[in-house]
Amino acid sequence: MRFSPQMLATSVLLIHLAIVLFNVGGLAVIPLGGWLGWQWVRIYWWRALHLLSLAVVALQAVLGQACFLTAWQAEFAGLGGGEAPPMIARWVNSLLYWPLPLWVFALIYVAVLLYTLALWRYVPPRRRAHIPA
């Protein structure tokens, strides 16, 4: 089975969307879970992955680079020879990509990273599962 460049571009876009949902969702559920006593929001590997993902995004923006997933998607779409993207891809594109200067995104991503670091203090992760006696 051969995948078209547009299909590959759409696949990268959907992976990108999943990562964005993971990052943004974590920003909401970690403090909520800490408040409600949800132990799973303290799972160390999950929290470390969340922090690392946001750190990569912030670092790329501070260095003036677009996300590597954005670059891959553009590369695959460019190979498509003008093939129109599926409707869902156009809709997801409009959610993910805003026409703002990169410095605005860098500022937002650094602020989000600082917020995520603060969550490590206020809702600290645990390396082992906490089992009440």
What single letter denotes the amino acid at residue 96? L
What does each of the 133 residues of the chain score in pLDDT, given as a tens digit? 677 777 888 888 889 899 999 999 999 999 999 999 999 999 999 999 999 999 999 999 899 888 888 888 888 877 766 665 655 666 566 666 666 788 888 899 999 999 999 999 999 999 875 555 5
Domain coordinates in residue numbering, the chain: 5-122
Q: How far apart are CA 27 and CA 4, in angstroms?
A: 35
pTM strictly above 0.75: yes
